[in-house]
């Protein structure tokens, strides 16, 4: 199976603290690959390095067969490597459809042509409507984004990423702060999006991870401890000792 995103010995230090330690990943086309690990394991730093928000000290990031290590975040996004939930900016005073259309226009490099009504770009509007339908917001098109509930805002953030035409989605804790009902809805949504997009998911909700992931990588103290299927992860004695045992003890 071909890989879409690959890292080679990705390393990041903050002073004397080694946060990511020679991380090598190989994400296959069409898979949902999850990263799990204890607090402070380096998960968000790794996502920042993949998205281009944070430059690595050493190592490389390959996307679509090209070395994108030196590219900034917006150039990686233009290639289809998009991070959702933390970098997406919602415009509170704009409607849901306007936010999604703006995201679609931004991916086409002319989002700031404000003298031309956003609705005039039919292709962008269609992309926005399809993304909102996919994320369960088809009946909220004309609601102001500022009036959305927490769960709906997260849905809108994902819709904005989808409207931009991604090839690969980086999702950093999409279910953080959600109720059980909201999390269940997002899990169902991601189940639908699997295979349509290649997804790297960082998430603390183990029920979600084991329900969604094709493969899981366990990050501990900045290093990949083990990568395997959900069943292999559940049965790995060292993973259970350093992470899953901790999660079960907290449950």
Q: Which CATH number covers residue 15?
A: 3.40.50.300
Q: Alpha-carbon distance 110 to 102, whole Å?
A: 9
For residues 67 and 122, state if they share a domain.
Answer: no
**What average pLDDT does the segment 117-140 reach?**
84
Band of pLDDT at residue 244, cut at 50, 70 and 90: low
Band of pLDDT at residue 247, cut at 50, 70 and 90: low
For residues 130 and 234, state if they share a domain.
Answer: no
- Whether the pLDDT of residue 243 is over 60: the answer is yes
Provide CB contacts within 8 A for 4, sequence distance 6+: 27, 28, 29, 63, 64, 167, 168, 198
Band of pLDDT at residue 94, cut at 50, 70 and 90: very high
Domain boundary among 136, 166, 196: 166
**What average pLDDT does the segment 40-65 reach?**
94
CA-wise closest residue to 230 among 245, 212, 247, 248: 212
For residues 74 and 174, state if they share a domain.
Answer: yes
Provide CB contacts within 8 A for 249, sequence distance 6+: none
Q: Alpha-carbon distance 86 to 245, whole Å?
A: 29
Domain boundary among 134, 166, 198: 166
For residues 251 and 183, state if they share a domain.
Answer: yes
- Whether the pLDDT of residue 111 is over 70: the answer is no
For residues 16 and 39, state if they share a domain.
Answer: yes
For residues 64 and 185, state if they share a domain.
Answer: yes
**DSSP type of residue 167:** S
Full residue range of the structural domain in which residue 204 is found: 1-80+167-251
For residues 189 and 157, state if they share a domain.
Answer: no
3-state helix, strand, coil in the chain (%, to 5): 40, 25, 30
CA-wise closest residue to 52 among 42, 61, 41: 61
Tokens for 87, please give them: 């970098």
Q: Alpha-carbon distance 78 to 110, whole Å?
A: 12
At residue 52, the pLDDT reads 93
**DSSP type of residue 89:** P
For residues 148 and 195, state if they share a domain.
Answer: no
For residues 59 and 94, state if they share a domain.
Answer: no
For residues 73 and 182, state if they share a domain.
Answer: yes
- When divided into structural domains, the chain yields a total of 2
At residue 119, the pLDDT reads 54
**DSSP type of residue 243:** I
Whole-Å CA distances, 131 to 66, 104, 176, 193, 237: 27, 10, 22, 11, 41
Give this prediction's pTM: 0.85
- Whether the pLDDT of residue 61 is over 80: the answer is yes
For residues 212 and 98, state if they share a domain.
Answer: no
For residues 71 and 180, state if they share a domain.
Answer: yes
Domain boundary among 140, 166, 192: 166
Tell me the residue length of the chain.
251
CA-wise closest residue to 160 among 220, 104, 226: 104
At residue 42, the pLDDT reads 92
């Amino acid at each position: 199976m071909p890989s879409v995103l690959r890292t080679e010995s990705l390393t990041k230090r903050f002073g004397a603290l080694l946060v990511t330690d020679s991380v090598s990943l190989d994400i296959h086309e069409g898979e949902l690959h999850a990263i799990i690990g204890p607090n402070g394991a380096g998960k968000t730093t790794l996502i920042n390095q993949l998205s281009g928000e944070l430059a690595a000290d050493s190592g490389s990031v390959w996307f679509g067969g090209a070395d994108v290590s030196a590219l900034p975040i917006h150039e990686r996004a233009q290639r289809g490597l998009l991070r959702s939930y933390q970098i997406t900016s919602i415009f509170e005073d704009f409607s849901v459809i306007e936010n999604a259309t703006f995201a679609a226009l931004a991916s086409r490099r002319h989002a700031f042509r404000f003298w031309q009504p956003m609705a005039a770009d039919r292709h962008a509007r269609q992309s926005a409507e399809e993304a909102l339908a996919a994320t369960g917001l088809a009946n909220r098109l004309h609601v102001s984004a500022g009036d959305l509930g927490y769960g709906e805002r997260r849905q809108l953030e994902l819709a904005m990423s989808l409207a931009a035409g991604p090839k690969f989605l980086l999702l950093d804790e999409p279910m953080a702060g959600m109720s059980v009902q909201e999390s269940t809805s997002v899990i169902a949504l991601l189940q639908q999006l699997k295979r349509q997009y290649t997804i790297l998911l960082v998430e603390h909700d183990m029920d979600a991870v084991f329900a969604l992931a094709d493969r899981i990588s366990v990050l501990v103290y900045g290093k990949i401890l083990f990568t395997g299927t959900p069943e292999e992860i559940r049965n790995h004695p060292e993973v259970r000792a350093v992470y899953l045992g901790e999660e079960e003890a907290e449950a």
